[in-house]
A = this chain, B = another copy of it.
Amino acid sequence: MPKAPASNHPACTEAARFAAVPPGAPPDPSVCPVRDVLDRIGQKWPLLILIALEPAPLRFSNVQRAVGDISKRMLTQTLRDLERDGMLTRRVYPTKPPSVEYALTALGRSALDPIAALAAWADLHHDTIRAARQQFDAA
């Protein structure tokens, strides 16, 4: 088997787009939207950062404190990625210890609707999951 093109995934409602691409056309590496976007926000750090910024914009250190256990390295990188995707803005204030404020954009804020639903689900089913784990581990 020649290995799937890594894109014809059932959740991708635009899968037909790929079937319609004439052979020989540019490969269009931005696979199906679900994959492309989930590769970003379907991870814990971006999710947690967006959640942390929901009540109010925060500066770098405050984001780190809010998330808790993210390394500076990951924080920097994830903030850059989110900025690149238009989910948040980065504004530098030329104060003496320079301060940088990260704020959600409208797009980032709109992402919080499904994310909040996910968080609510997590909160609601946490006990069930913990029970399932205990039962599984017992066997």
Contacts and interface: CB of A to CB of B under 8 A. Distances in A.
A44 interface: yes
Contact of A115 (B8, B12, B86, B118): B118
A57 B103 CA distance: 42
A77 interface: no
A33 B14 CA distance: 34
Contacts of A117: 113-114, 117-118
Contacts of A137: 84
Contacts of A119: 11, 34, 38
Interface stretch (A19-27, A62-70, A92-100): A62-70
A7 interface: yes
